[in-house]
Amino acid sequence: MTTATTTTTTAGLAPVFSACEGSGLRLGLGGAPLGNLFSAVSDADARALVDAAWADGCRTFDTAPHYGHGLSEQRLGAALRQHPRDSYILSSKVGRLLLPDANAARAQHGYVDILPFNQVWDFSAAGTRRSVEESLQRLGLPRLDVVYVHDPDAASHGERAPAVLRQVIDETLPELRQMKREGLIRAIGLGTNDVDVVLQVLREAGLDVLMLAGRYSLLDHSALAALLPQCAARGVRIALGGVFNSGILATGARGGKASFNYAPAAREWLDRTARIELVCKAHGVPLRAAALQFPLAHAAVEIVMLGARKIAEWTDAVAMMQHPIPPAFWADLRKQGLLPMEAPTP
């Protein structure tokens, strides 16, 4: 895949995603907030955010039909069409189709003021092709660089999860490979926060990329032992989402009121975060800086995707990515049992 700039990678693997041009920062813009996740963002503010990220050199962008029922795709496409198509990396997802409904609720799945559609799950070959084609129409663009199969996991599908996974392997991924041959897309992957489902797919199918949310962070290391080594060995490049674990690693424990995985954090996570905060304070390291920089040290992780809602959040992340962190900080985390000994650090 052609990228707009050279991305710092490890293990001699060719880059898939683009670092922030000029700075080399491995930071991309995630599009969920552009779909009005939890609260509304105006069209003007959404456009200003994308333009500000672009001005800072951001060249990797992600969206999905799920994000505001197409609203994120519409907004992101409108902002990116002013730039040459080969100058950025754009991803979207398949697995959900949008059906028009004048009476559709304007708040669904955590998104508010959404477009008048209802979602239906569809991992069939025909549904997969339709999803990509409709995403391209909403974006107003002729191709996608990356397409992820979105949420093919037990949390989303319950007792149907095994059948869904079988269909993903037998229908969704082969259809995406066909579209790759046709030039509609360039790379294929999964978009999930479930480590086990990725391992199951890798037993039977090849992937180019993975968008993994929340399972490799300063707090949650559940992808470290099995999944990340497999990705590194197979050349599966990872775009990592959820590095703040939906809030707790951005805000800190907040006296027991922080969010983890979009729910009130359990005591285990609150206590662990509070201990990390003490180490941060001792070394003068902002918690956000440590959370953003830590996962990028792993050979399989190529870029961090930030779901910023405001320009100030994006600007802060850029600053935190550049904040110096002394080696003694990471050593102290290990000494206190807050980082696995085998976890690589910057």
Residue with tokens 């600007």, as numbered in its chain: 315
The CA distance from 74 to 60, in Å, is 17
4, HSE (Cβ side, Cα atoms, 13 Å): 24
Q: What is the pLDDT of residue 257?
A: 87
Q: Count Cβ atoms below 10 Å from residue 289 Cβ, excluding itself.
A: 20
5 domain residue, yes or no: no
Whether the predicted pLDDT of 298 surpasses 50: yes
Does a structural domain hold residue 273? no
Residues with catalytic annotation?
A: 67
CATH number assigned to the domain comprising residue 65: 3.20.20.100
In a domain, 89, yes or no: yes
Mean pLDDT of 341-345: 97
Report helix, strand or coil for 105: coil
What does the pLDDT read at residue 190?
A: 98
- Whether 265 maps to a domain, the answer reads no
pLDDT at 5 over 80: no
Number of structural domains the chain divides into? 1
State residue 15's pLDDT score. Answer: 83
Q: What is the pLDDT of residue 14?
A: 64
Is residue 224 a part of any domain in this protein?
A: yes
**pLDDT interval class at 262 (50, 70, 90):** confident
What share of the chain has pLDDT > 70, as a percent?
96
Whether the Cβ atoms of residue 299 and residue 11 lie closer than 8 Å to each other: yes
DSSP alpha helix (H) spans, the chain: 43-55, 71-80, 125-139, 154-157, 161-167, 173-182, 195-202, 227-234, 248-251, 267-283, 287-293, 311-322, 327-335
Please check whether residue 18 is in contact with residue 24, taking contact to mean a CB–CB distance below 8 angstroms: no
Domain of 178?
27-249+295-321
Q: What's the rounded mean pLDDT across residues 108-128?
A: 97
Task: Please list, residue by residue across 77-112, b when 16 or more beta carbons sit within 10 angstroms of its beta carbon and e when fewer do.
Answer: bbbbeeeeeeebbbbbbbbbbbeeeeebeeeeeebb
In a domain, 142, yes or no: yes
Q: Is residue 258 part of a domain?
A: no
State pLDDT tens for residues 178-236. Answer: 999 999 999 999 999 999 999 999 999 999 999 999 999 999 999 999 999 999 999 99
As a whole number of angstroms, the distance between CA 94 and CA 74 comes to: 16
Residue 103: partners with Cβ closer than 8 Å, 6 or more residues away: none
Confidence of residue 255 (pLDDT cuts 50, 70, 90): confident
Q: What is the pLDDT of residues 50-72, one digit of tens each?
A: 999 999 999 999 999 999 999 99
Best CA proximity match to 125, nearest among 181, 183, 176, 162: 176
With both helix axes pointing from N to C terminus, report the angle between 125-139 and 71-80 in degrees, rounded to the nearest 10: 50
Q: Work out the number of other CB atoms within 10 angstroms of the CB of residue 176.
A: 25
In a domain, residue 287? The reply is no
* pLDDT at residue 250 in the model: 95
